[in-house]
Amino acid sequence: MNKSYRTRRQLLDALQELTPRMIEAEESLRAIRGGEVDGLVVETAEGDRVFTLSGADHPYRIMVETMNEGAVTG
């Protein structure tokens, strides 16, 4: 079907489907811009990939570098 010939009902259905996705995307961007997010998990064809935002690991790196005792994580 040629998209330029959509009916009013089809357009309203598309709007109803896309509105929650837009709200979620805007909320995600707000959280990223507000510094509430350290990283992102993105689904790809090869599986989930984790991306950390610039500087997200800085507090942990400082903690490890300044520790006087050993630590184990699992």
**Which helix (H) or strand (E) element contains residue 2?**
none
The predicted-structure confidence for 4-24, as pLDDT tens digits, reads as follows: 788 999 999 999 999 999 999
Structural domain includes residue 71: no
Q: Residue 7 belongs to what domain range? A: 3-66
pLDDT band at 67 (very low <50, low <70, confident <90, very high): confident
Structural domain includes residue 73: no
How many domains is the chain partitioned into structurally?
1
Structural domain includes residue 74: no
Per-residue burial over 34-61, b = 16 or more CB atoms within 10 Å of its CB, e = otherwise: eeeeeeeeeeeeeeeeeeeeeeeeeeee
The predicted-structure confidence for 18-59, as pLDDT tens digits, reads as follows: 999 999 999 999 998 998 888 888 999 999 998 887 776 677
Look at 41 and 61; give whichever has higher pLDDT.
41
